[in-house]
Amino acid sequence: MREHCSLIVISALLVPTLAASSLCERTCTAYLRQFKLEGCLLDSKTTCCSSLAYTESYTLCIAHCSVKERLAAWKSFRQICKLPTCGSNTSYDDVYIAAVDSNVSEQEALTRDDSLDTAVNISWEKFSAWHAYQDAKARNSRSSKIFGAILAAYWALLMAISCCSKLYYRMCHSRLGKRGRLSASIQKHVILPALFGYRHVEPVLICGIPLTTIPLRWQAYSCAIFIVLNLIFLVAEFNVTEAASSVIDETSQAALYAANRSGIMAVTLMVPLLQFAGRNSLLTRMTGWSNDTYKLFHRWTARILVLDSIIHTIAISAYLLHSGGHSEYHAVILHRSNVFGILAAVASCMIMIQALYVFQQFWYEIFLTLHLGLAIIFFVGLWQHLSSYAFVYPLYGAVAIYAFDRLLRLLRVLSGNLTGRAEIHANADATQIIIKPLIPFNYRPGQYACLYILRFNFWQSNPFSAAEARDNRYIFIAKRRRGVTARLHGYAVDRDTHRARIWLEGPYGISHALEKYESVLLLAGGIGITTVISYALHLKRKGRQQQVALVWAVKEKESVSWIASQLRHVAENDFIEVHVFVTSGEMEAARDKMDIVQFEEASDDKSTLSDCRTIFEMDFDDDDRLYKEPLFDDCGDSNGKSGQLFDKFIPSTVHFHYYRPRISSIIRDSMSHDSNSLAVFACGPARMVDEARSAVIANLDDSGGKRIDYFEDAFA
């Protein structure tokens, strides 16, 4: 038995195999893994430096390479293992000569049950097969990384196009003029409409259960291209070779390459996945994408990532079962790194199930907590799974991006809220929240903020649109629904005014430059008035000569008290016309039906809603109206207490109607005005927003070349 040099034992036992950079090195390293060499602790990702048998076997193997590759491989081996001087065996030639004098064949080495203390000699035929196999595997790995990078770059390209489009819009259109024919056609057929039908915000119901929403066409086309690219890349250029058939058959090659391809692409998609998951304040302003768009792209990136992960699991299982049978399959699967990989795959599938639309709609707070918990399990499992491999760096990059986003959010919260308090008012079925942070925020109309209500859910935030920002005071309106909004309203209802610890994070979202348009139509439904009134206040402060109409549909007249102060401020001017439609109450509807002619006669000739008879068509079908007892009975005695208080608080310039507004007629009338540009902004219930978008699309051809832009806030 050959005596091992004591100085070699001092060197490092384990080093990463992928430190070998050339194909020659990778071939010999992979080939020697199948043997039990004395003093060599070898697993799938380490190479032995303490074994003289391994060192001599390595020199015999690289002898089949070219001179240049051989010298580079030996130099790299010496650098990795940091071999000290050991007798006369210090150069490649010395070690090679010693190995040639004493070695065993591959067949004999494979039949030995004990550890080998001598070198293994590899034949040229076997080396060629291993070389072809490693070359094909390296090319497949390189292609997989390129394909994964292309998928990530696709989203980056889409964001870059949106950034350039928004920059052009800002720089070249200080006052907007008419659209070109091509631009109008793209807007009508690609940008505005849903993929099919007219529904976009309103969910698709099956047996009364909301399952999903239909994306806009441009969103759907963007996701479709991404999906097609992923499917093409999964099967493109597998590099299966017959030259390696003596090492691994072609079926096993295809399964292994498919597993590697899908796994590498899945890991690469972690970067855009976490980018879309952040609050993205800067990217939102640069691209002009809504929060709804970011969430949609996040969901589809996650779905493709999970699909690739499932393919990776199936393919690697098929490879192990076909090449080694059940015994090898169980041995490999039960390895620590693979157990964590299975844990990550299971967590990702559970995320897909609990992220269904129905769970988000009815159990949002539970969904958010579970989503975060499962995501942590997924990342830890994936990290432990990839820690045995070299392709863990995309995961580090993705986590770094997300951690940076979280750090910015934490700084936003801590910068202005450590000494701040909120004042809350219970107002009808809503809660008014007034926050004065320590440091003012750069708030723009239409933006929202995430509020941490420390008394209830200090670990998570809820988004609320700001109705007004004035004197470093930010006013939010929270409609009482389920969960935290119901608890907050119940907490505030004990007194007229109550203070609470609420932290503000934001603002987020995009703000549209409605002041650039000659005519503006603001459509609000229910609590959507919070976003719309912020735009109305902004336009009033700008004081430009615009034709502005604010139309608000609300169930009960009492709800006007949510924003009574802001509504009164907006109505005190001569270019913003305010119409409030109360959609419940038989008595109000009956009175309006009798007095509709008087209302028309009293309308100003300069009204942006000039023909009320045409625009506000009355429809009293049972399906279109909710009948409830009125809260303010203006049809009764004019000296009634409730009527006097309401009339005193709300100016007469706010026009009330007691029926449902005809959105399509209102939009059609607004388009008929003599102006070069019109902005239609809608925020409210899903059906109303979808109806507004559909009406804009339907009337684009009749606009006479006028520039018409439609905006919506689907977040509210």
Token couple for 82: 């940091």
Place of tokens 């070998």: 20
Most confident of 116-125, 326-335, 350-359, 622-631: 350-359
Query: Which tens digits make up the pLDDT trace of 175-204?
Result: 556 667 787 888 889 999 999 888 888 888
- φ and ψ at 655, to 5 degrees? -90, 130
Q: Residue 632: what pLDDT?
A: 31
Each residue's pLDDT tens digit, 589-645: 445 444 443 434 334 443 334 333 333 333 323 333 222 223 333 333 333 444 444
Adjacent-strand bridge partners of 315: none
Predicted confidence at residue 481, as pLDDT, reads 81
Q: How confident is the model at residue 110 (pLDDT cuts 50, 70, 90)?
A: confident
DSSP string, 82-145: TPPP-TTTTSHHHHHHHHHHSEEEHHHHHH-SSPB-SEEEPPHHHHHHHHHHHHHHHHHHHHHH
Q: For 628, list phi and psi in degrees, rounded to 5.
A: -140, 160
| Helix (H) or strand (E) run with residue 500 in it | strand 498-500
Q: Are 551 and 666 in contact (CB under 8 A)?
A: yes
Tokens 């196009």 sit at which residue? 161
Q: Cα separation of 268 and 123, whole Å?
A: 39
pLDDT digits (tens, 9 = 90+) for 519-547: 999 999 989 999 999 999 999 888 777 88
Residue 628: the pLDDT is: 29
Helix runs in 356-469, H state only: 357-362, 364-386, 393-417
Note the helical H segments in 200-335. 217-235, 250-268, 270-277, 281-287, 291-333
What is the band of 380 on the pLDDT scale with cuts at 50, 70, 90?
very high
Place 281 in a pLDDT band, splitting at 50, 70 and 90: low
Question: Is cis: bond before 437, omega within 30 of 0?
Answer: no
Q: What is the pLDDT of residues 345-371, one digit of tens each?
A: 999 999 999 888 888 888 887 888 899
**Cα 679 to Cα 176: distance, rounded to the nearest angstrom:** 10
| pLDDT grade for 216, boundaries at 50, 70 and 90 | very high
For the question of whether the overall pTM of this predicted structure is more than 0.85, the answer is: no
Q: Which residue has the tokens 């430059």?
A: 513
Q: What are the backbone dihedrals phi and psi of residue 500, each rounded to the nearest 5 degrees, phi first?
A: -145, 160
Query: What's the confidence (pLDDT) of residue 211?
Result: 84
Residue 569, pLDDT > 60, answer: yes
Q: What is the pLDDT of residue 550?
A: 93
Alpha helices in 11-91 (DSSP H): 23-32, 52-62, 67-81
C-alpha span between 343 and 355 (Å, rounded): 18
Q: What domains sit in the chain, N to C, each tagged with a CATH number?
A: 6-122 (no CATH), 132-165+243-410 (no CATH), 415-508 (2.40.30.10), 514-712 (3.40.50.80)
Percent of all residues in the chain with a pLDDT value above 90, rounded to a whole number: 23
Q: Is 262's pLDDT higher than 90?
A: yes
pLDDT band at 551 (very low <50, low <70, confident <90, very high): very high
Over range 157-175, report the average pLDDT.
Answer: 79
Q: What confidence tier does 263 reach under pLDDT thresholds 50, 70, 90?
A: very high
Q: Cα 616 vs. chain centroid, distance in angstroms?
A: 40
What kind and span of H or E run contains 196?
A: none
pLDDT of residue 207: 83
Give the whole-angstrom CA distance, residue 187 versus residue 176. 15
For position 42, what pLDDT does the model report? 53
CA–CA distance from 675 to each of 170, 302, 519, 550, 614 (Å)?
A: 20, 45, 7, 18, 20
The rounded mean pLDDT for the chain is 79
